[in-house]
């Protein structure tokens, strides 16, 4: 296989916080040792991408972190037979060697994001210079370079837009129920927020065999979606505590997918003895949650932070892809609209709808 050459590509880059991102000409490197270059096919627009406009850790940053495509070039040490393989990108890549990984807790590995902020730079015509890549991915672009281990194989008959959404929204929501909270059959669950991730928490709770499953959301449409996905009850936030009482009382697991202290407190107040609140929604960086530690102690409660559904990408993403293929998870139905890369920046000026948009990259 001949060595790959760097290529030029347009990417959606946030230059300054508070301003919409723009299309910027980039140069994508040839894959280095242990890396692959992926020709992107589809990328989901996640809340994290939209939030970056407000609170990105550093700029300029190439947005996009849930994506799928096909390997089109491999670096030294990577099996050239992988060229042409459909893959989904994992935005966390455990190192496999630290004490947490060796203890089976790869979800807590410090290595974290997959790609160094290398692999691409602004084209000379656009002023040159390095860029951050959101969550170590940055896939609102036609090609990305990733560590080979962060490009997880996708079954050949799975649409790549489905694989892209599995790569973050599905993994985060379903994983929160199955692998962060470890919901057990017969346990009770309440979920605040029935948007793209919250509906996947409902699906995860259903797969785990939970009952009742109470979904809480101000939107009647989303409440209907939650019931269709396996929630046994659905309530407006103002009626959540009455609905939970009617469903059998305090719950074993409360999930906050909203990211507001108010819904977190409602989740804590709904917990049964020994129950846990799982925080999934990204709160504003300066948000503060206050609660009564005495009652918390007496009731033996727990609060658990959750990113990426505690997935171990190499083992859990293939399982989620299988569930998407056999209909256990209705992923295709979650995709509300499709846009071209060129039309993506203007979407950042619209109020977020919570519906999953997929960027078509070819
Ligand atoms: Zn995401
Ligand atoms: Zn590790």
Give the Cα separation of 11 and 80 in Å (integer).
Answer: 27
* Closest ligand by atom to 307 CA: 1
* Residue 116 pLDDT class (50, 70, 90 cuts): low
162 or 120: which carries more pLDDT confidence? 162
Ligand 1 centre to CA of 246 (Å) is 34
* Tokens 């003895």 -> residue: 273
Q: Is the pLDDT of residue 352 over 80?
A: no
* Closest ligand by atom to 104 CA: 2
* Residue 110 pLDDT class (50, 70, 90 cuts): confident
User: Percent of the chain at pLDDT above 70?
Assistant: 98
Residue closest to 216 by CA, chosen among 229, 202, 235: 235
Give the Cα separation of 8 and 26 in Å (integer).
Answer: 6
Residue 57: what pLDDT?
A: 87
| DSSP line for 176-209 | IIIIIS---TT--EEEE--SHHHHHHHHHHHHHT
Give the Cα separation of 134 and 77 in Å (integer).
Answer: 26
How does pLDDT run across 212-247, given as a tens digit for each residue? 999 999 999 999 999 999 999 999 999 999 999 999
Q: Is the pLDDT of residue 31 over 70?
A: yes
* Closest ligand by atom to 107 CA: 2
User: Percent of the chain at pLDDT above 90?
Assistant: 85
* Tokens 């101000």 -> residue: 218
Residue closest to 196 by CA, chosen among 4, 355, 359: 355
Structure tokens given for 350: 């619209």
Residue 339: what pLDDT?
A: 95
Ligand 2 centre to CA of 314 (Å) is 13
Give the Cα separation of 74 and 146 in Å (integer).
Answer: 10
Q: Is the pLDDT of residue 44 over 90?
A: yes
The average pLDDT across 38-51 equals 93
Ligand 1 centre to CA of 48 (Å) is 5
114-128, 201-215, 247-261: segment of lowest average pLDDT: 114-128
**Residue ranges near ligand 1 (ion) with Cβ within 5 Å:** 46, 48, 168
Give the Cα separation of 119 and 4 in Å (integer).
Answer: 13
The average pLDDT across 25-51 equals 93
* Residue 354 pLDDT class (50, 70, 90 cuts): low
Give the Cα separation of 34 and 96 in Å (integer).
Answer: 15
Ligand 1 centre to CA of 50 (Å) is 10
How does pLDDT run across 286-300, given as a tens digit for each residue? 999 999 999 999 999
184-188, 189-193, 215-219, 282-286: segment of lowest average pLDDT: 282-286
Q: What is the mean pLDDT of the chain?
A: 94
The average pLDDT across 260-267 equals 97
Residue 115: what pLDDT?
A: 62
Ligand 1 centre to CA of 125 (Å) is 31
User: What are 262-271's contacts with CB under 8 Å, separation 24+?
Assistant: 263/192, 263/193, 263/216, 263/237, 264/289, 265/289, 265/291, 266/192, 266/216, 266/237, 266/240, 266/241, 267/190, 267/192, 268/296, 268/301, 268/303, 269/241, 270/190, 270/240, 270/241, 270/244, 271/299, 271/301
Residue 355: what pLDDT?
A: 75
Give Cα separations from 31 to 74, 80, 117, 288, 319 (angstroms). Answer: 6, 12, 13, 43, 28
Structure tokens given for 309: 């559904």
How does pLDDT run across 319-340, given as a tens digit for each residue? 999 999 999 999 999 898 999 9
The average pLDDT across 67-95 equals 96
* Tokens 């039309």 -> residue: 343
Ligand 1 centre to CA of 317 (Å) is 14
Phi and psi torsions of 152, nearest 5°: -90, 130
Ligand 1 centre to CA of 247 (Å) is 31
Structure tokens given for 29: 């490197």
* Residue 180 pLDDT class (50, 70, 90 cuts): very high
Q: Is the pLDDT of residue 117 over 80?
A: no
Residue 356: what pLDDT?
A: 83
The average pLDDT across 350-359 equals 80
Residue 226: what pLDDT?
A: 97
Residue closest to 170 by CA, chosen among 284, 348, 335, 352: 335
Give the Cα separation of 47 and 169 in Å (integer).
Answer: 9
Q: Is the pLDDT of residue 204 over 80?
A: yes
């Amino acid at each position: 296989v001949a060595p790959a050459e760097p290529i030029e590509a347009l990417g959606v880059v946030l230059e300054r916080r508070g301003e919409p991102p723009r299309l910027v000409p980039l140069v994508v490197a040839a894959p280095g040792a242990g890396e692959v270059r992926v020709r992107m096919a589809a990328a989901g627009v996640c809340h994290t991408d939209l939030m970056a406009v407000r609170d990105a850790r550093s700029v300029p940053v190439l947005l996009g972190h849930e994506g799928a495509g096909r390997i089109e070039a491999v670096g030294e040490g990577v099996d050239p037979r992988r060229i042409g393989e459909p893959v989904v990108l994992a935005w966390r890549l455990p190192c496999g060697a630290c004490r947490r990984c060796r203890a089976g807790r790869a979800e807590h590995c410090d290595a974290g994001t997959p790609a160094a902020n290398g692999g691409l730079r602004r084209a000379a015509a656009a002023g040159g210079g390095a860029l951050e890549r959101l969550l170590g991915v940055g896939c609102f672009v036609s090609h990305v370079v990733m560590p080979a281990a962060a490009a997880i194989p996708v079954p050949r008959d799975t649409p790549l837009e489905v694989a892209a959404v599995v790569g973050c929204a599905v993994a985060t929501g379903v994983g929160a129920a199955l692998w962060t909270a470890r919901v057990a059959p017969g346990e009770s669950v309440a979920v605040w927020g029935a948007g793209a991730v919250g509906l996947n928490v409902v699906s995860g709770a259903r797969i785990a065999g939970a009952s009742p499953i109470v979904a809480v959301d101000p939107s009647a449409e989303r409440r209907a979606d939650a019931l269709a996905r396996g929630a046994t009850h659905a309530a407006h936030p103002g009626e959540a505590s009455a609905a939970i009482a009617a469903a059998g009382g305090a719950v074993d697991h409360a999930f906050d997918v909203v990211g507001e202290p108010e819904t977190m407190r409602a989740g804590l107040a709904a917990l049964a003895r020994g129950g846990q609140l799982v925080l999934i929604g990204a709160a504003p960086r300066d948000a503060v949650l206050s609660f009564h530690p005495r009652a918390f102690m007496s009731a033996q409660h727990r609060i658990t932070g959750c990113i990426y559904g505690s997935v171990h990408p190499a083992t859990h993403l293939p399982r989620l892809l299988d569930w998407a293929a056999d209909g256990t998870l209705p992923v295709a139905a979650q995709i509300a609209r499709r846009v071209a890369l060129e039309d993506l920046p203007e979407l950042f000026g619209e109020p977020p709808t919570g519906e999953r948009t997929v960027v078509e990259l070819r």
